[in-house]
Each structure stands twice: as structure tokens, then as C-alpha cells.
A and B are shown apart, each in its own frame.
Chain A
Amino acid sequence: MQYQSIGKNLPRVDAIAKVTGSAKFTADLKFSRELVARVVRSTEAHAWIKSIHYADALAIPGVRGVVTGQDTQALVGVCIKDQPPLARGKVRFVGEPVAVVVAETKEIALQATRKVKVTYEPLPVLLETKDAMALHAPLIHDVIPTIPGFLPKPGTNIFHHYHIQQGDVETAFSTSQLQATGIVRWPHLAHCQMEPHVTIAKWCLDDTVEIYTSAQSPFDVRHFIAEAFHLPLRKVAVATYFLGGGFGGKSDVTIEPLTVLLAKQFPGEYIRLQLDREEMFDGTVVGRGLDGEFAVAFDRQGKILGLKITYILNSGGYASYAINIVQPGGIATSGPYFVPNLQIDAYGVYTNRPPLGAYRAYGHPEAALMAEKIVEVIADHLNMDAQEVRRRNLIQPGQINSVGEIIRKDDGDIAQCMDLVIQDLNEYRENKANIPGLARGIGIGNLLKAPGMPTNGFSTAVVRFNEDATVNVMISATDMGQGLLTTITQIASEALCIPVEKIEVTAVPDTRYTPYDWQTVASRSTWMVGNAVYKASLDAIAKLKINAAAAFGQSPEDMVYDGESVYYRFDQDRRIPLRKLTLGYSFSNGRTVGMPPLGYGAYMPEMEYPDLKTGQGNVAAQWTFGCQGVVLDIDIISGVIFVRMVASALDIGKVINPKMAKSQVEGAVVMGIGGTIMEHIQYDDRGRIRNHEFTDYKIPTPEDAANIQFNTHFVETPDHAMIYGAKCLGEHPIIGIAPAILAAVHDAIGLNFHALPLTAEVVRGKILQEWHSVEQHLQKKRAAYVSTVSVL
């Protein structure tokens, strides 16, 4: 199909605003009578609050007040409401807000927070899931709220157990001679968005609440605030501006309830709560945190016969966000493979760490680490090529996945993705000589992902023709750097047959003025908002036709729209340019018929909640498949891993903007590399984060990325539901990276790692520990390893 705007490399529509600094972020907003809030955070991971003394803080001139948990009964949470905006009675992680100073300047607020004295009575600290799940473990929450669709285990720290049962697992294991087990561990990661969280809120004297916040989801923030503070939705206004990165860490709600609580204490004044970098680690949400185990039964051909998986998320002190990761993560642990007999037990477990939240790809990278480890282990046991084991187990259209959905052809062509990646890896290996002293390895990781969302998580859009026939597109999805405004501009341009220059997409969603959108998460926006914009465009066009029909005294069905004018089907000379139809149509005597055209469109795929006993159901709206591969070199002496090349092939349906899609892939790849070989939040034994800043929480730098060759391919199997056939992309290219690196490290030095990150120290430590087998492996692979000769 020939497209005008889709598939073109339209430069980002926000580029000039961003590079000239005129793009507005929440922190740029300034209000008169602003007060500044600063949080006093818990220094204990698990303790009773015995007392909070803040008279000394109040005595400082310029301090307007100190707010504590005594000032509210509200509980917030996305789905399980277990978290007070300010700790009440008990703290459950280091960094939990215990009190907040509100002052006239940030300097005064800082000084005052140091004068707030909190005394604690320590409780046993549970940092690891095995401790929290132990029999008779102290309870972090005495009562776990029950909610439909979720299964907590009362009297334990398990707030959700999602169970999948398919086929006859026990028989599969008892009849198979070939079995293997393994574990995987992923520590907590930080999102490291460039823009720290900031919320500005005012509780007006008529009980309306104004909120400006760096959130991915203005409507969801509105929902939770209205619920927590018992307000009608119409009284809560939430506006978001450009976001400097989200990665899931700004989805749902984070600091908004606390800021609104403060605003309520100081009605009529704007309260600003702006986190600093350390608070981004201590006081928002963290990511990953998987403890996984598997047992697999397979045959001599490498085909999986049965699989038992335990997938445990270290979810921190509150389950508000983590609870939603348990299910999608659990579903994906069998990977893009057909498993006839399957048992998955996914647990969300309270611990005394900061709460776990969404982190780019919502449980899927953890799941992929497990699934890909499983095929690698089978290959290892059978001494088979791991790529071949993957191929033999790939799920085919018509087969059912872990939740009983029948896989469709348009879910994607993973075999082709594998071919593309393997071809790239082989080419690189043949053309680029090994470097003396370095052990080269290649590995791949397959990936799959579905967008997780509630079954009524609509995206909607409004398309308005202006008087000059330019168009405003109003949506409530946010642009956090992923380029949504640009792809939506292209989709609107295509749907309306008008050039992109005539289209402006809202950059400032505001729950007062822009139409509903559940959240900008799950890589869903190009796909879902795109569909909504398409429908809204058709609706706007229909209204232009009504205006033209009234002008001609004909039926709207006989009107044709071509992007410049509307004409009568049976006489093309009878045409009216669009700008004459935008305020209705006015005859020469001024008489006006019709009305200004406003189009509305909404989209939601059909989904359902899974059966609680079997975990089965149509829970995923669509699947995206892909494959990623890496070539890396390991410095045997230092343990440093150098990633040389990353090949990614993803079946994302029709690509809306190829250049942006490639950038999205490269960004995700680098983030994935960081999370695999560098990043981890280091806790001390009392649960305090030791590296809550960039000096010691290391993420890849430009120098790390500059030497990586990125090969990115898109397979374009059109999606059946999206009008232009586009699918999801934003999160996916992070999913295959960790498993591919793990496989490549195994290929290079023959060692199996099960815990991330593979820092130089970890790699070197294991090389020294198992030097004998590494040496043997290197000799076997002489071609891949040229030793440095030490002759002096």
C-alpha cells in the first residue's frame, strides 16, 4: 500500500522546541505564592515510628508547617491500596516519607528537615524474598487487602500468587529421562530518567485540585487522587508537560498523592515537590528484582516436554505497582516457545526494599532471561546448537501459548527475525578478526511481549479542523522522549490526507480539556492512540461532509473528501475548499449551515481477565515477537565485557517512522546492556541504598555506546487490529539483550552465569574460580581466542 506520511522519516515535531530549550517541562512552571516541600525519609527499613519531633523545624523562620502521617487516613495504590502517602505508625523501607516540611524556599525546607527528629523501634528487616517467604516470617503488612482478580496468601508476605496450569506437568516429568534445573536472579535497577519527578499542586478553596506533574498518565493520576481524597473527578485537574524520560517509573502514581495531601493542608497555595537524584532512587519505585527457578523436561531432539517455573518478584514495602507485574511477567516466562505441559507460579512478595514498579517492558525482560536460559540449558545438556533448540521449540501460529491464546500469524514471524539476527552475527564473526587477549562470544535472545492493561484501558482522540483548515489533534498520551507526537502527526496526516505541516498534536494533556487515555505505558500508544486518531479523523471528515452536503443540498453519502476540499460525487466541479467548511458553511448572503467539525475516536482491543485457577484467558491484546543477538569480547584479565555488535530484528508490523524506530531500538539496547553488565542498586544489610547517585550507580555513557555497531531490522507483518498495521515497539528491544549477553558470555568463556549484573569483577571472579574449565574452553575455541604472548 502506498502511504503519504506513514513509513517516512518525518523529523521529530518537537525537535526545535527541545533543542532551543523552549519545550516546557513541569519543573519549568512557575507560580506566584509557591511553597516548597521537602521530605523527611525513613532511615530504617522496617520499624515502628515511636515519635516525630519537629518543634525545632517549625521554629525556623520561613517554615510554614510540618505534615506527618497523622494528617491523613488515605491509602493509595494502583490496584492494591496498601500505601499511605506518608508513613503511619510503621515504616517499610528506607526512604519512605515520614514527614514533610513545607517552607517558603528550598533552602529553608532543607535546613528544617534536618531539625525533624524521628525515633524508631526497629523490626526484623527482610531484604530477600526467601526470607520474606520463610515460614513464620515477620509480616510486613498485617493485612493484605483482597481485590478481585488477585490472590494474596493471608498470613504471609505474598500479596499475589498467579498460577498457570496447562497439560499434565507431573506426567511429563515422571516419564522424561532428560531434565534440567536452573535459577536466575536480577537485582533491583533504577530507571534513571533524566528528569526527576516533580509535582506542583494547589487545593483551591472551592475544593477543586490543580495538579501539574511529571507523570506518564494524567488520567490515571486523576483517578487515584480523586479516589484517595474522595473528590469527584470533575474537581481534579491534572496536566502533564513534556517528560524527560519515563521508562515506567512515572506511570501510575508516585509522588502525586503526597503533594496533594500537602496542598490540602495549605489550601490556596501552590506546593512544589521536586525530587533530587538521590530521592529518585530512595523515594520513587525501582525496577526488575527477580528470583526465578525452573525445571524443564525435554526429549533427545531438544523439544520441551514439560516446564515448571517459579517467578518471584522482590516487590519492596508496597505492592501498589508490583502487583500488576506479577501476571504479565509470569505469562511470558515460557518465552516464544510451545510448551505442552506447563506450570508457572508467579509470586509478588513484600520485602523491606523500596517498592517495585514498572520498568521498561513490565516483567518481560525477567521472563525472557528465564525462557532463554531454559533453551540454553537444554542445548548444553544435549551438546546441541542453542539456536537449533530454539527453532525446534518456537511457537507456531495455531498453537496455544501459556494462557491458552491461539497464536496468530500476525503476532509476528519470529523465525525470520532469528534468521536475520543469526546472519548478522555470522557475518560479523567472519569479517571482524578476533582481538588478542579477548575471548569472543556470540549469543542470541528471543523475545515476546504483550501490552498489559485493564480490559477497558481506552485510548481516545479528538480531531478539530481550525478555521484555516489546519488541524489540532488532542490526545492525552504523553511524549516522554519516545516520539509519540511525531508518529501521531504522521498517522493523522495519513488519515486526513493533509500534509504534516498542517497538523499540531497536543503536547500538554490536561484532564480538563483533552480526551481520556488510560496510561502512556506498555508500548501501546502508536498502536492504540494511532487507531483512536484514525477513527477521530474519519469522524471529523464525516462532519465536513455534512457541512458540504448542506451547502449543496445533497446527501452526505454523496460527498467526497480529498484533503483539500469536499466535492459532490457526481460532479467534481462542485467542490468547496476545506477552509470554507470549518465554521459550518456560509452562503454569500451570510446564512450559515452545519457546524465546526470536531471528530472523536476511541480504541480498545477485546481482552478479558484470566481464570484464577488455571491462569488461562484472552489476556493479551496482541503479541510482538523478535530476536536479538550480540557479539562481545571478554577481557580475560580484567573481566570487562565489550559489546561489539547488537543485531535486533523485531516484527513490529508497519513501521510508522523508520528512523525514530531505529533510534528507539538503539536506546533500548544500550539501556539493556547497562542493566546486564553494569547496573544494580546496592543495599547494605539494613536496606539502605549505597549507590543512590550516578557516581556509583553506573549506566552506559556515550563512550560505551559509541563503539557498538547496531544492526536493526524490522519485519513488517501487519497487525490485524491497527489500521495501518503498526504494532508495539517502545519496550521490546530491551528484552532480548540480557539473555543474549548471557549466552554470548557462555559462548566466549564457557561459564554459566545466573545472576546479573555481569560486572568485570563478577566475570573475573568466576574466571579465576573456574580457570581450569575456562582454559579448556578457550583451547577448544582457539580460533576465537588469541592469547597475548608474554615474551620480554
Chain B
Amino acid sequence: MFLPFQYYDPGTLQEFINLTQTLPNYQILAGGTDLFVKMRNGWQHCEHVVDIKKIRDLQLQQINILPNGIELGSLVNFTQIQTHPLIQQKFTALHESACVMGCREIRNRATIGGNICNAASGAEGGSTMLIFDPIVHIAGKDGRRSMPLAEFYQATEERGKTKVGVALKPGELVTHFFLPFLPAKSNSTYIRRSRTQGMDLSSLNLALAIIDADIPENRRFRIAGGAVAPLPCRFPKVEEFLASQATLSSEVIQAAKRLIQEAANPRAGSKRASVAYKKDQIGELLEQAIHKLVNGHSCCC
């Protein structure tokens, strides 16, 4: 049940800036699929809720195709991502993750900006966005700034507990994400484990991109995992190891699996999956993802 709160819907960026300066604390409302759950459950109380969906001058709902990449407005929802032909073709992992994110109703509401800013470790948008090295564009009272997504995510230690969030200051909002195209002969995929075939959170997930797949010397890998660390994260050591290999023999893959299993650091006490299962499965997901991209096998089911 909800405790009373004040709702605001600024119409321009300037109105947003002016408004948020007057509020001692507030929460940005995008799709609301995380925020309202938290508020209803009493995990997060906010007296002031600022809806950014009415802001007209930022094109927050738009997907723009540029010569070198794609711009996703922060309020682009998962149905838009799921159904966009170019995303399916060039950012396949993102498309695949959007297909299994929540359910239809959730995908119609939930936004990519909200998904990222909520900073949930297992978020479908987290690991998949990370492998495309996106730039986060921010606007606010001090003007505009941008930074790589990997830096936008922030984890801090507080009294022995890891606190996660994003580098958004009061009076700021994310306007869009810029995702550069992968080079030709590259491909990406997203696989997850979940407890049901339908609406469920990821128990864990993995996104993989293989870049310049045709020429082993040039071949590079980008690997990101979800729900295996406090935040969605890349696995640089595994990426480097795989890039340094001439062939993807089963020995190499076994070694890569061991590396990612060692690197994974899931928290204990998850209701979705144990540490042991996550560590076991992050390796299996990596193997399945490599198979899928190299052999074109899709995983079973």
C-alpha cells in the first residue's frame, strides 16, 4: 500500500531543473515498474515523485540512428527495443534481453533509462548494454555531461555493505545512451537463467559480443554478467584470455569457464539462486553463448 506522495510533471528540462532545486529529496519516475514496487513495499519512501515523461524538449522517447551508432532516449521502453529492426540486427543481445524482460505489460512501461538507473545487478538492460560500451548522456543544472556506462554504475562500501547506484547528481537526468555499432563481422547474444519460462527476473545472465569474428588474430570478446556481482559487470580477464587464443578449442572454453567462475562474485542469500549455482552457471552460460555465436546453435528450449 502506498503512503501519500506529491507528484510533479515538469514539461521542459528547465522546469525539471527549477523544480528539483526546490525539493529536498525526490525520486525520478520513468516507467515506474521498479519505483512503485519499492514504494508500495515500503523499501523506499519518497514524498516527492518527479515524472520525466512529460518533458518535451529532450526527445527522451526516441530511438535515433546515427552513422556510427544508435541513440536510445532514456525513456525508450523495452517494447520499442524489442521491436526495432536495427536493434535486432546490430545489437542482437539487447534485442534478445528485451524479449525476455518482464512481461508484455512491463515491457510497455519499463524504460531503458530506468532499468539502468535502478542499478539492479540482474537487470536485463545491465549486462547487455555493457557489452556495447555505451556513453551515458546526462543533462542538469550544471549543463550537459557524458560518461561511459561502466563508470556511470557506482558501488560504494558503507559499513561493510556494498551500496550500488549510478553517478546521477540531484537536478540531473539521463537524456540518452549512445551505442556505437560493432564492427562488421561481429555479433552478440544474451542468455539468462530464470525460474519460469515466462515473467521472471534473471537468476543470472550473460551477454557476449564477439568482434571481428572472422580473423582469429583480431578477434575480441566482450563479456558481461548480471546477478553475479553487486552490479552488472564486464569480465576483462576472460575477454583478454579468449582474445589471446588462436582457436576456441574445448580446452580453451573450459579454461575460460573456470576464469569467469573465479571472477564471478555473487552475493550470498539470494532468493533466486545460490552462490554455487550462479558460479556454476555463469561458466555454462559463457559456453552456451560462444556456441551460439560461433556455431549458430541456439540453446535448447
Query: How many positions in chain A have a CB within 8 Å of any CB in the partner chain?
Result: 39
Give the distance to chain A from B117, nearest Cβ to Cβ, in Å: 19
Q: Is A438 an interface residue, CB under 8 A from the partner?
A: yes
Q: Is B76 an interface residue, CB under 8 A from the partner?
A: no
Give the distance to chain A from B210, nearest Cβ to Cβ, in Å: 12
Contact A695 B201 (CB under 8 A): yes
Whether A704 contacts B284 in the complex (CB less than 8 A), given A642-B301, A695-B201, A761-B277, comes out as no
Whether A700 contacts B196 in the complex (CB less than 8 A), given A635-B301, A792-B248, comes out as yes
Contact A760 B196 (CB under 8 A): no
Q: Is A61 an interface residue, CB under 8 A from the partner?
A: no
Q: Is B6 an interface residue, CB under 8 A from the partner?
A: no
Q: Is B19 an interface residue, CB under 8 A from the partner?
A: no
Q: Is B271 an interface residue, CB under 8 A from the partner?
A: yes
Contact A678 B195 (CB under 8 A): yes
Q: C-beta contact mask, B257-285 vs A, less than 8 Å → 1, else 0?
A: 00000000000000111101100110010
- Across chains A and B, which 5 residue pairs bring their CB atoms closest together, nearest first? A701-B198, A703-B198, A696-B271, A703-B197, A761-B277
- Kindly identify which residue among A276, A437, A759, A792 contacts B294, using a CB–CB cutoff of 8 Å: A792
List of B residues within 8 angstroms of A768 by Cβ: 280
Residue among B37, B274, B295 having the largest count of chain A Cβ atoms under 10 Å:
B295
Alpha-carbon distance A772/B300, docked complex (angstroms): 23
Q: C-beta contact mask, B90-112 vs A, less than 8 Å → 1, else 0?
A: 00000000000001000000000
Alpha-carbon distance A633/B299, docked complex (angstroms): 14
Q: Is B4 an interface residue, CB under 8 A from the partner?
A: yes
Q: Is A637 an interface residue, CB under 8 A from the partner?
A: yes
A113 (CB) vs chain B CBs: closest residue: B1
- Kindly identify which residue among A437, A678, A792 contacts B196, using a CB–CB cutoff of 8 Å: A678
List of A residues within 8 angstroms of B301 by Cβ: 635, 640, 642
Q: List 19 A-B contacts (CB under 8 A).
A: A107-B3, A276-B1, A437-B300, A633-B300, A691-B271, A696-B271, A698-B200, A699-B196, A700-B196, A701-B199, A703-B196, A703-B198, A704-B198, A760-B195, A760-B203, A761-B273, A764-B281, A792-B247, A792-B249
List of B residues within 8 angstroms of A695 by Cβ: 37, 201
Known: A437-B299, A765-B277. 17 other contacts (CB 8 A): A111-B3, A438-B300, A638-B281, A640-B301, A690-B271, A691-B271, A695-B37, A698-B200, A701-B196, A701-B199, A703-B196, A704-B196, A788-B297, A790-B250, A790-B291, A792-B247, A792-B291
Which residues 172-196 of B sit at the A interface, judged by CB distance below 8 A?
193, 195-196
Q: Is B2 an interface residue, CB under 8 A from the partner?
A: yes
Contact A107 B248 (CB under 8 A): no
Q: Is A393 an interface residue, CB under 8 A from the partner?
A: no
Give the distance to chain A from B206, nearest Cβ to Cβ, in Å: 12
Q: Is A235 an interface residue, CB under 8 A from the partner?
A: no
Q: Is B288 an interface residue, CB under 8 A from the partner?
A: yes
Residue among B1, B41, B248, B297 having the largest count of chain A Cβ atoms under 10 Å:
B1
Which residues 221-235 of B sit at the A interface, judged by CB distance below 8 A?
none
Q: Is B253 an interface residue, CB under 8 A from the partner?
A: yes
List of B residues within 8 angstroms of A792 by Cβ: 247-250, 253, 290-291, 294-295
Contact B280 A764 (CB under 8 A): yes
Alpha-carbon distance A703/B41, docked complex (angstroms): 27
List of B residues within 8 angstroms of A678 by Cβ: 195-196
Q: C-beta contact mask, B104-143 vs A, less than 8 Å → 1, else 0?
A: 0000000000000000000000000000000000000000
List of B residues within 8 angstroms of A704 by Cβ: 196-198
Alpha-carbon distance A760/B272, docked complex (angstroms): 11
Q: Is A682 an interface residue, CB under 8 A from the partner?
A: yes
Q: C-beta contact mask, A614-653 vs B, less than 8 Å → 1, else 0?
A: 0000000000000000000101011010100000000000
Give the distance to chain A from B295, nearest Cβ to Cβ, in Å: 7
List of B residues within 8 angstroms of A760 by Cβ: 193, 195, 203, 277
Contact A635 B271 (CB under 8 A): no
B1 (CB) vs chain A CBs: closest residue: A110
Contact B197 A707 (CB under 8 A): yes
Residue among B4, B37, B201, B271 having the largest count of chain A Cβ atoms under 10 Å:
B271
Q: Is A435 an interface residue, CB under 8 A from the partner?
A: yes
List of A residues within 8 angstroms of B248 by Cβ: 792
Contact A436 B198 (CB under 8 A): no
Contact B1 A107 (CB under 8 A): yes
B2 (CB) vs chain A CBs: closest residue: A107
Q: Is A702 an interface residue, CB under 8 A from the partner?
A: yes
A111 (CB) vs chain B CBs: closest residue: B3
A276 (CB) vs chain B CBs: closest residue: B1
A107 (CB) vs chain B CBs: closest residue: B4
- Kindly identify which residue among A436, A759, A764, A765 contacts B300, using a CB–CB cutoff of 8 Å: A436
A639 (CB) vs chain B CBs: closest residue: B277
Whether A698 contacts B250 in the complex (CB less than 8 A), given A436-B300, A638-B284, comes out as no
Alpha-carbon distance A693/B40, docked complex (angstroms): 12
Q: Is A106 an interface residue, CB under 8 A from the partner?
A: yes
Alpha-carbon distance A493/B195, docked complex (angstroms): 46
Give the distance to chain B from A37, nearest Cβ to Cβ, in Å: 13
Which residues 742-792 of A sit at the B interface, judged by CB distance below 8 A?
759-761, 764-765, 768, 788, 790, 792
Give the distance to chain B from A57, nearest Cβ to Cβ, in Å: 15
Alpha-carbon distance A698/B198, docked complex (angstroms): 10
List of A residues within 8 angstroms of B249 by Cβ: 792
Whether A110 contacts B300 in the complex (CB less than 8 A), given A638-B281, A638-B284, A698-B196, comes out as no
List of B residues within 8 angstroms of A790 by Cβ: 250, 253, 287, 291
List of B residues within 8 angstroms of A640 by Cβ: 193, 301
List of A residues within 8 angstroms of B294 by Cβ: 792
Alpha-carbon distance A14/B30, docked complex (angstroms): 39
Give the distance to chain B from A286, nearest Cβ to Cβ, in Å: 17
Contact A637 B247 (CB under 8 A): no
A696 (CB) vs chain B CBs: closest residue: B271
Contact B250 A761 (CB under 8 A): no
Give the distance to chain B from A100, nearest Cβ to Cβ, in Å: 15
Whether A638 contacts B271 in the complex (CB less than 8 A), given A107-B1, A792-B248, A792-B249, comes out as no
List of B residues within 8 angstroms of A435 by Cβ: 300
- Kindly identify which residue among B3, B277, B280 contacts A110, using a CB–CB cutoff of 8 Å: B3
Alpha-carbon distance A764/B287, docked complex (angstroms): 16
B300 (CB) vs chain A CBs: closest residue: A437
Alpha-carbon distance A696/B270, docked complex (angstroms): 10
Alpha-carbon distance A631/B203, docked complex (angstroms): 26
Which residues 428-449 of A sit at the B interface, judged by CB distance below 8 A?
435-438
Give the distance to chain B from A426, nearest Cβ to Cβ, in Å: 23
Which residues 673-709 of A sit at the B interface, judged by CB distance below 8 A?
678, 682, 690-691, 693, 695-696, 698-704, 707
Give the distance to chain B from A437, nearest Cβ to Cβ, in Å: 5
Alpha-carbon distance A5/B152, docked complex (angstroms): 67
List of B residues within 8 angstroms of A437 by Cβ: 299-300
Alpha-carbon distance A385/B203, docked complex (angstroms): 38
List of B residues within 8 angstroms of A637 by Cβ: 284, 288
Alpha-carbon distance A446/B252, docked complex (angstroms): 48
Give the distance to chain A from B276, nearest Cβ to Cβ, in Å: 7
